[in-house]
Chain A
């Protein structure tokens, strides 16, 4: 009896070690970075956590295939390291000594990645299934890009400013023309005398450069030639 038990036990171990090996067919490596994720609140990885992991994988398989055949005992873990990394493989309960195809396991884990992550308080980055690429969530894009909205606001302000300035400039110019026309009319009515200086009307003499006598203005002939 004991011998049979021992034989069965060693068989199971051998089966276990054959099915679950690093780089075995349909086996996946898992890596956890608990301290990076949780810092001071990090929990220690022990046998209970392993049990939870097996349960989560079994749960994922059940959800994926919709058959309630996968048991916790179907999930085999091996090669536990200090990193906290290990390999796991899911055996097929229907057929002995075979593992569930990797594609199925991959699809199942992908489908339930969120649930698995949150069970361990980790994220896609800190709970890594090395051959299973995670679907990254795209950033939230609002319906109208934000920059267009701000651009529109600034553009409207600037255009309004330009229009205001242009319109007020036109209005001011009309007023000036109007005023000068009015003063023109006034002058015609009042017939103001034209001030003269030496017989020459003053406004001709009122040069911007000052009272320069044109006779002496020629620069070139400042010095009389010898």
Chain B
């Protein structure tokens, strides 16, 4: 969800009417800001996919990302208005598109800051000397480890029990966790501090939040590549997996990730571009920004996979030594007789010499496989926290790496939040009604306060399940629809030829045949096929399902959503997508009324 941060700088100048825009290195700051959004949390979250993910990602970038980015920038630059105004010019029936973007941003800001709260929680716990997720806590009579923790790993226990205190299903609300509440309040206070003064202060903060993650990634790259077993992860990353390429889910994830990391559909790109000079070469901008975006993703993936390889190798070697210990103890062999190399031959020898005992032992002997370790995929928010905390606890000087990592995560998260809240605040601060009655500090404060109160839902014991609902359904479908409407509007309602002529005026040459094909055919077709896939998936499974944590087994189980959760999902999707048709309907009705009043006058 690394939404573009250009909105903060440029909407300010555009909408507050402060005068002529200072175009000091707009391009460089755009690149820096876009880079700040490019290095979003996405590579961390979806790192469980392999090179099988990188190929769809790059293809989607070229087919969808670049053309749509170019389109939005060109629209904004030509219409010279923010998102709501620009679509009104293209066709008055499309004024709902801008409003839908704002609604999506609003939903995003409601749930996104919870991630920052978790990052704060982990950051504060990184200062302890053995990291708290490094070992399991003891049970009540101190004879062994806590039961739940023994079934799963200590990092998963820390995430599910100590951080979330998750309930077994979404129906059981549980109580509000005060520790999460204070972290959430702190996260919102930090966001408020940054947006308090409006976007001039936000601009300065963005310089930090965009550059620091790169530094940390460099440090992690050097550290990651020197870790034992990192090579395994890199090899895994670069070997193509054909089954994954055939799975349509991979392509969908790639497409949605491109949307989020480029900030398409949020309206911020249009607002930014409207601020550029008319003859600005937005084609060049679009290409350069997309390339920086993709290279950042690859860079982050390399870091992620080297750490992933380290974790997988570590777990594999642990598994092997456990098996060796078990065999050594049961058969009373000399220490050091069994090693990783002769394990297989020794197993055969033991099977032949002590067949009965070995057969008894068989269920306990796990087949350790490096491939299986590398294939274990952790999804969603859990990935960023569980995977990295597990890898970090095995490094030397783990506190330092942990602090660095969570500071980086915070920078990314707060950077994204700033863009989001700016997207919501700008229409509010620009409306004459509100800005005359309340100063902008108060408006920002009220927005942050309301979002914080709503965010308390996510701090309950079942909060993570609601978070997943918002995460999966709050923005994805709506953004797809918004972008689809935008493409169709520009190509067919406004007219591709008219758009070409505008571009000729602006940048001096007509767009290539490649761009035209992408805009007119490829991108709409792709988005429609994504929609169809979502629908068929939903119809096929009959109901939507989620992953719930089962404390007795120590793993995730699949459950069905109850009806009220499905209602909330429907509401989320409907409230942003319905803005478009409702906006069109309202304009239609208003025009009808005006015509009727004009005709009655005559």
Contact = CB atoms under 8 A, between A and B. Distances in A.
Nearest to A42: B335
A82 B329 CA distance: 11
A208 B17 contact: yes
Contacts of A36: 335
A121 interface: no
B182 interface: yes
A162 B441 CA distance: 10
Contacts of A166: 196, 441
Given A136-B143, A146-B128, A147-B125, A82 B334 contact: yes
A3 interface: no
A19 interface: no
Interface string B319-338: 00000000011001111100
Interface string A172-184: 0100000000000
Interface string B11-25: 000000100000000
Interface in B202-216: none
Nearest to B192: A162
Interface string A124-143: 00000000011111110000
A135 B142 contact: yes
Interface string B103-147: 000000000000000001101110110100001011000111100
B333 A162 contact: no
Given A82-B332, A155-B189, A139 B197 contact: no
A83 B333 contact: yes
B189 A158 contact: yes
A15 interface: no
Contacts of B124: 146-148, 150-151, 154
B123 to A, nearest CB: 8
Contacts of B333: 82-83
A55 to B, nearest CB: 24
A20 interface: no
A65 B339 CA distance: 44
Contacts of B196: 162, 165-166, 169
B459 to A, nearest CB: 15
Contacts of A165: 193, 196-197, 201, 441
B186 A133 contact: no
A146 B135 CA distance: 17
Contacts of B138: 136, 138
Nearest to A82: B334
B335 A35 contact: yes
A34 interface: yes
Contact of A139 (B130, B201, B328): B130
A70 B121 CA distance: 56
B190 interface: yes
B151 to A, nearest CB: 18
A84 B335 contact: yes
B439 interface: yes
B144 A151 contact: no
A184 to B, nearest CB: 19
7 contacts: A33-B335, A83-B329, A85-B329, A133-B144, A147-B128, A151-B186, A162-B189
A208 B190 CA distance: 35
Contacts of B186: 151, 154-155, 158
A143 B333 CA distance: 46
Interface string A150-164: 110011001101100
Nearest to A142: B128
A103 interface: no
A180 to B, nearest CB: 16
B189 A151 contact: no
A135 B143 contact: yes
Contacts of A161: 193
Interface in B305-358: 328-329, 332-336
A31 interface: yes
A161 B201 CA distance: 13
Interface in A33-83: 33-36, 81-83
Contacts of A150: 123-124, 127
Contacts of A154: 120, 124, 186
A138 B145 CA distance: 10
Contacts of A138: 138, 142
Q: Looking at A84, A85, A138, A151, which has the most chain B CB atoms within 10 Å of its CB?
A: A151
A83 B142 CA distance: 28
Contacts of A162: 189, 192-193, 196
B597 to A, nearest CB: 15
Given A135-B143, A165-B196, A158 B190 contact: yes
A187 to B, nearest CB: 23
A147 B127 contact: yes
A22 to B, nearest CB: 11
Nearest to B187: A158
A35 B324 CA distance: 14
Given A135-B142, A162-B192, A165-B201, 16 more contacts: A81-B332, A82-B332, A83-B333, A84-B335, A133-B144, A135-B143, A136-B142, A136-B143, A136-B145, A151-B120, A151-B124, A151-B182, A158-B189, A166-B196, A169-B197, A169-B441
A144 B142 CA distance: 22
A46 to B, nearest CB: 14
Nearest to A81: B332
B193 A83 contact: no
Contacts of A83: 328-329, 332-335
B347 to A, nearest CB: 17
A34 B335 contact: yes
Given A150-B127, A155-B189, A173-B439, A35 B142 contact: no
A83 B601 CA distance: 106
Nearest to A169: B441
A155 B127 CA distance: 16
B231 to A, nearest CB: 26
Instruction: Report the 9 A-B pairs with minimum CB-CB distance, sorted nearest first.
Output: A147-B124, A81-B332, A82-B334, A83-B332, A35-B335, A150-B124, A133-B143, A158-B189, A146-B128
Nearest to A151: B124
